[in-house]
Structures are given as C-alpha cells and as structure tokens.
Amino acid sequence: MNSDRFNAYRIMWVLVLFDLPTETKHDRKAYAQFRKQIMADGFVMFQFSIYLRHCSSRENAEVHIARVKRYLPKYGSVGILCITDKQFGELEIFFGQKPAELQTGPQQLELF
C-alpha cells in the first residue's frame, strides 16, 4: 500500500495557464496580484503565463485547484490542467532545436 502512495499515476502536476489583460493600471494590478497569489501557493513559472505545481496526490491537487479558483481575476482567461506525474514525464521540452532535460519533481521526505 505504501508503494502505491508515490505511484507515478497518483502523483499529480497542476498547470495554470492564463491570458490576462494588462492595458490599464487596474488590469496590471489584477494580473500581478493573481500571479503573486498562485506563487505564494507554491506554483512556479514554467513559461510566461504558465505556472505549475507538484502535488503528492489527486486530493492535494484538488486543494490547490480550489485555491486558484478563489484567486481568479475578474477579466481574462485562466485554464487549470491536472495531469499525472507519468504524463508529465512524457513532456518534451526544447530550447531552440536542442532538447532540454525535464526537471523532476521535488523530493519530499517524511519523518515519522
């Protein structure tokens, strides 16, 4: 049962993809606030307007997804995608034409 706990199909990645307006001062403030809130919740920038977070389980991912939904700005579009660690491991990343090494998720230690 314990080995199932860290199964590549159980561990999740949550991606937040957004396109928010930045034409006015108010828009830029809402954009910055949304970005700061998701970063405070542990999301890191993957690409411009794409942030991701490693979650130990589907239940943990749902907690963070609910938080992102609470932070949604009034205008713009935000997408939330949840994928397994196994699926994330299949992602191919290129810088120019050179393949880049995909960073592995953070290692979390448990103390009993």
For the segment 42-55, what is each residue's pLDDT rounded down to a tens digit? 999 999 999 999 99
DSSP designation for 34: H
Please check whether residue 72 is in contact with residue 24, taking contact to mean a CB–CB distance below 8 angstroms: no
Q: What confidence score (pLDDT) does residue 5 get? A: 56
The structure tokens 């393949």 sit at 99
Asked if residue 86 lies in contact with residue 40, where contact means CB atoms within 8 angstroms, the answer is no
What is the number of structural domains in the chain?
1
Q: What is the pLDDT of residue 1?
A: 47
Domain-embedded: residue 105: no
Predicted confidence (pLDDT) per residue in 61-107, tens digit:
999 999 999 999 999 999 999 999 999 999 988 878 777 766 665 65
Residue 84 belongs to domain spanning: 2-88
Query: Which residues, other chains included, contact 19 with Cβ-Cβ below 8 Å and sequence gap of 6+?
Result: 49, 76, 77
What pLDDT was estimated at residue 64? 98
Per DSSP (E only), the strands in 3-76 are 12-19, 44-47, 50-55
Instruction: Tell me the per-residue pLDDT of 19-48, one tens digit each, with 9 for 90 and over.
Output: 999 999 999 999 999 999 999 999 999 999
pLDDT value, residue 103? 60
Question: DSSP E strands: which ranges in the chain?
Answer: 12-19, 44-47, 50-55, 77-84, 93-95, 98-100
On whether residue 109 sits in a domain, the answer given is no
CATH number for 23 = 3.30.70.240
